[in-house]
Amino acid sequence: MPFEKNILCIGAGYVGGPTMAMIAAKCPQYKVVVVDINPEKIRAWNNGPLPIYEPGLDEVVNKARNKNLFFSTEIEKGIKEADIIFVSVNTPTKTFGQGAGQAADLQYWEKTARQILAQSDRCKIIVEKSTLPVRTAEAMERILNNNPKGLHFEVLSNPEFLAEGSAIRDLEKPDRVLIGSHETPEGLQARRELVEIYANWVAKEHIIESNIWSAELSKLTANAFLAQRISSINSISALCEKTEADINEVAYAIGTDSRIGPHFLKASVGFGGSCFKKDILNLVYICQSYGLTEVAAYWESVVKINEWQEKRFVQNMLANMFNTVAGKKIALFGFAFKAHTGDTRESAAIYVTRWLADENARIVITDPQALDNAKLDLADIKEKIEFETDPYRAAQGAHAIALLTEWPLYRSLDYARILKTMAQPAFIFDGRNILDHPKLFKMGFNVFAIGKAALKHF
Ligand code: NAD
Ligand code: UGA
């Protein structure tokens, strides 16, 4: 039986791989091909182990791979055959020229548009899946629709809201799917086609339709609001440490107000991940370019508080360990930017490690999934770092443990056993507030959590 539709996704990363695997698993009537310029990645998607760690992803991929889900490096062929093309390439922060350090680097994006045009001999729907500056679709359309072949490409915005570590759950039961289009007859027709794909498993009331610019801007805004909540609670955590208020109690008390809500109020060593900082800086740049200086400054402060929180964590370690960590062994529990992922992009752990290395500490890093990425992130200071899969061995002889990722396994370790093997006095800095602090203190640890009074034996 021929497939009803040919769907292509350009970019087989954290978003392209899982989202397309979900579409293929839920819609056996469509053929879904995912292409990438990176042959290693495609090999891994085809033969395993999968190139990213994501709970539940193996099962979804196995259900559809080589039936109606295919991973390939044949980008041109994929474009030719496709009716609908999702573009899910990376959109990192620009590192050069105008807007360096803030604006989105759209070079991969533009290359993709030109490639789509070169390989197309019929009209297609193009879906922006990557996170992009508002009004990117305009540029994309100019490139695509300015062609001598007389082809028309309708561009839709369908930003992705999945979070790493819970991607499969988020894709299977999304809070919402957002689809933006032009409100022309062609735009609305293309919008309907995309709605139809998601409607195979997402209830209609969870599919939001909007104009294309609202969809583009909603993605940046959602990430900015989420990150803003973390910076807000982290800013209050600093005040808690000065006043003996407890940040968990404050977060609970405010989160029970239904207007505020309980989510994203966990104080931490700082938010990481490939997107929050990048997307907020992008928003800041866009605001500046429209002359909205105050709006830009407001959102930039969210990133500044995060950087301050990361630095404050290390300064706190230093101050409490008698103002020196030089030559002292410090075990870092966790390196991923959050639990249940091996991703370390913009992880607070990277900054903490670098500052501790500058202080000549002897650093041992342990993490159940992220050690390979950690080695790449720290390649330039590798002589200062040891990597250890076993947390007990990582802590042996250490003066301090800094817990940086909230992996559940760190909650269930035998800390009495760990304490016996550590240098004394022993310190724990809990950057995620997941440990039983009074219990650790009673055992003999000096305990420093985020937004809580320190528990010290001296
Ligand atoms: P990623 O780096 O994991 O994957 C992007 C992939 O695109 C890479 O494998 C790269 O090789 C490939 N690529 C780049 N240029 C290409 C080209 N011309 N042709 C074919 N392949 C090409 O990135 P990601 O985390 O999947 O993010 C992709 C986009 O989705 C970004 O805009 C990001 O902001 C957004 N986003 C990410 C997440 C997340 O959780 N990671 C969530 C929501 C949205
Ligand atoms: C985030 C958003 O949650 C997704 O909706 C969005 O699609 C994605 O960015 C994206 O655009 O890339 P992600 O970065 O994968 O997802 O993970 P989050 O769960 O949002 O966590 C981000 C960071 O904030 C992590 O470092 C996490 O530990 C930290 N965090 C989160 C806190 O410090 N406190 C909290 O209460 C929540």
- pLDDT tens, position by position, 341-386: 999 999 999 999 999 999 999 999 999 999 999 999 999 999 999 9
Q: Please confirm whether the linkage preceding 425 is cis (ω < 30° from 0).
A: yes
Q: CA–CA separation, 24 vs 396, rounded Å? A: 47
Q: What is the pLDDT of residues 374-404, one digit of tens each?
A: 999 999 999 999 999 999 999 999 999 999 9
CA–centroid distance, 14 to ligand 1, in Å, is 7
Whether the pLDDT of residue 148 is over 80: the answer is yes
Average pLDDT for the chain: 97
Pocket lining: 275 vs ligand 1, CB cutoff 6 Å: yes
Ligand closest to 88 (CA) is 1
- Residue 30: predicted pLDDT: 98
Percent of the chain with pLDDT over 90: 97
Q: What is the pLDDT of residues 410-431, one digit of tens each?
A: 999 999 999 999 999 999 999 9
- Residue 200: predicted pLDDT: 98
Is pTM beyond 0.85? Reply is yes
Ligand closest to 273 (CA) is 2
Identify the band that residue 121 occupies on the pLDDT scale cut at 50, 70 and 90. very high
Q: CA–CA separation, 45 vs 32, rounded Å? A: 14
Q: CA–CA separation, 457 vs 442, rounded Å? A: 10
Q: What is the pLDDT of residues 257-301, one digit of tens each?
A: 999 999 999 999 999 999 999 999 999 999 999 999 999 999 999
Q: What is the pLDDT of residues 17-42, one digit of tens each?
A: 999 999 999 999 999 999 999 999 99
The structure tokens listed for 113 are: 């548009």
Percent of the chain with pLDDT over 70: 100
The residue annotated as part of the active site, out of 9, 27, 240, 275, is: 275
Q: Rounded to a whole number, what is the distance in angstroms from the first to the last CA of the chain?
A: 75
Q: Which atom of ligand 2 is nearest to the CA of 270?
A: 33
- Residue 446: predicted pLDDT: 98
Q: What is the DSSP string of 7-42?
A: EEEE--STTHHHHHHHHHHH-TTEEEEEE-S-HHHH
Q: Map tokens 């989105």 to a residue.
A: 104
Active-site annotation holds for 275: yes
| 303 close to 277: Cβ distance less than 8 angstroms | yes
Q: Which atom of ligand 2 is nearest to the CA of 230?
A: 34
Q: Map tokens 């959109």 to a residue.
A: 91
Whether the pLDDT of residue 458 is over 90: the answer is no
Pocket lining: 164 vs ligand 1, CB cutoff 6 Å: yes
Q: Which atom of ligand 2 is nearest to the CA of 276?
A: 9
Q: CA–CA separation, 405 vs 225, rounded Å? A: 22
Q: CA–CA separation, 389 vs 253, rounded Å? A: 38
